[in-house]
Amino acid sequence: MFVEKVYIIVVMYIDLFLCISFYGPIWSYDDESAWPGGFCKKGGKRQSPINIQTNNVIKDFDRQFIKHGSLKFIGYENVLSSGLNNGHTIQFSTEGYTDMHPTITGGPLKYTYRLEQLHFHWLSEHSIDGVKFPMEIHFVHVRKDLNISEALNKRDGLAILAVFCNVQPDLNENQREASDEIMQHIPLLMRTGRRFSGAILNLRKLLSPKKNSYFSYLGSLTSPECNEVVVWIIFDNPIYISDDLYRLFGKVGIGRHNFRSQQKIKHHQVYQPPDAFITTPKAVIVVKDVYKHVTQFFQNITRQVRSTS
Ligand SMILES: *[C@@H]1O[C@H](CO)[C@@H](O)[C@H](O)[C@H]1NC(C)=O
Ligand SMILES: *[C@@H]1O[C@H](CO)[C@@H](O)[C@H](O)[C@H]1NC(C)=O
Ligand SMILES: [Zn+2]
């Protein structure tokens, strides 16, 4: 019983702060100037979403930001989930004992983060070199050692994975996996306030095929109250969704669209793991001189590749 009560409180906090209201939306994508929360109104220093300008991205050979090796995903396969149309998006939340929820760590993440919910934006909120995708999925994780209200006050309290989706009419078997996983659930969530529980989802099918190729920066929530507490991890390799599924999302009752306008670049610095880093054996990384030598070597290679392409 105790565990259940704690869980309900956590759900309420998530509902409050990520604006999943039981009573319908109190803010709208049509009028961002009326969004509640100081950061949304005045604008902070690290607001999201942004356009990622790839020639300003730092390949993190020196491990300034991406300090913790490769990303490690645990338990994304059989996730007990509930679905909800909260008036802004369709959202799947993790259910049941929190110890069973999927976790992520590594890459830019110093701590372990637990998945609370995922939701969809159509069109995408982030863009790469000015190009938006038809859809962006956000996997919202909370630092495991914090409760929600603490997490919403720490610069790295949340980790949000962003996966872009491309739309294609004809998908091969692998490309169809994501659509097949969620297609049956969407018709239950067409109107605001609709919900269901007890679905088992294989969320691995909604993750990018290349899990160690991403952009990362410190930013904010993209909905009220726009807290600057998010480690963003944005995969550059999109997944695919079917044209049918995308058309279905278009009919979901959430207003005209559900993406926040892009924010001015201020204190944002976007990093990317250098490909070399991912394949460099651990033993090399701990020996500093060897590591320096190896990074220099790969920097040289990168330079050569750049100058020949
Ligand atoms: C979160 O943790 C802080 C510090 O431990 C505590 O004061 C606060 O009451 C907690 N909040 C919730 C909602 O559990
Ligand atoms: C990298 O290139 C610099 C000069 O461009 C050279 O001095 C250095 O030895 C090279 N390092 C490696 C590891 O190849
Ligand atoms: Zn989002």
- 103-125 pLDDT, tens digit per residue, is 999 999 999 999 999 999 999 99
Average pLDDT of the chain, as a whole number: 85
Q: Residue 299: what pLDDT?
A: 60
Nearest of 287, 308, 306 to residue 298 by alpha carbon: 306
| Distance of alpha carbon 67 from alpha carbon 273, whole angstroms | 9
For residue 171, what are its two tokens?
A: 């998908």
CATH code, residues 2-274: 3.10.200.10
Strand-pair partners of 128: 52, 131
| Distance of alpha carbon 262 from alpha carbon 148, whole angstroms | 26
Average pLDDT of the residues in 183-202: 96
Q: Residue 85: what pLDDT?
A: 96
Strand-pair partners of 49: none
Average pLDDT of the residues in 142-171: 95
Task: Give per-residue pLDDT as tens, 203-228.
Answer: 999 999 999 999 999 999 999 999 99
Q: Residue 270: what pLDDT?
A: 97
For residue 224, what are its two tokens?
A: 């009220």
| 149 CB within 6 A, ligand 1 | yes
Predicted confidence (pLDDT) at residue 14 exceeds the cutoff of 50: no
Ligand 2 geometric centre to CA of 295 (Å): 10
Identify the band that residue 304 occupies on the pLDDT scale cut at 50, 70 and 90. low
Q: Residue 38: what pLDDT?
A: 81
Q: Which ligand is nearest to the CA of 295?
A: 2
The answer to whether 116 and 141 have CB atoms below 8 angstroms apart is yes
The answer to whether 216 and 107 have CB atoms below 8 angstroms apart is yes
Task: Give per-residue pLDDT as tens, 36-73.
Answer: 888 897 778 999 999 999 999 999 999 999 999 999 99
Q: Residue 232: what pLDDT?
A: 98
Q: Residue 23: what pLDDT?
A: 41
Separation in Å, CA 216 to CA 12, 90, 223, 234, 269: 28, 25, 19, 6, 8
For 152-217, the three-class secondary structure string (H helix, E strand, C coil) is CCCCCCEEEEEEEEEEECCCCHHHHHHHHHHHHHHHHHCCCCCEEEEEEECHHHHCCCCCCCEEEE
| 297 CB within 6 A, ligand 2 | yes
Predicted confidence (pLDDT) at residue 31 exceeds the cutoff of 60: yes
Q: Which ligand is nearest to the CA of 151?
A: 1
Q: Residue 306: what pLDDT?
A: 53
Nearest of 166, 156, 152, 146 to residue 237 by alpha carbon: 166
Nearest of 271, 209, 264, 263 to residue 237 by alpha carbon: 209
Share above pLDDT 70 across residues of the chain, in percent, rounded to a whole number = 81
Which pTM does this prediction carry?
Answer: 0.80
How many Cβ atoms sit within 10 Å of the Cβ of residue 289? 7
| 300 CB within 6 A, ligand 2 | yes
By CB neighbour count within 10 A (0-12 exposed, 13-18 middle, 19+ buried), where does 180 fall?
A: middle
- Report which ligand 2 atom has the smallest distance to the Cα of 300: 1
Q: Domain map of the chain by residue range?
A: 2-274, 283-309
Residues 6+ apart with CB under 8 A from 284: 290, 291, 294
Residues 6+ apart with CB under 8 A from 81: 92, 93, 94, 95, 197, 199, 200, 201
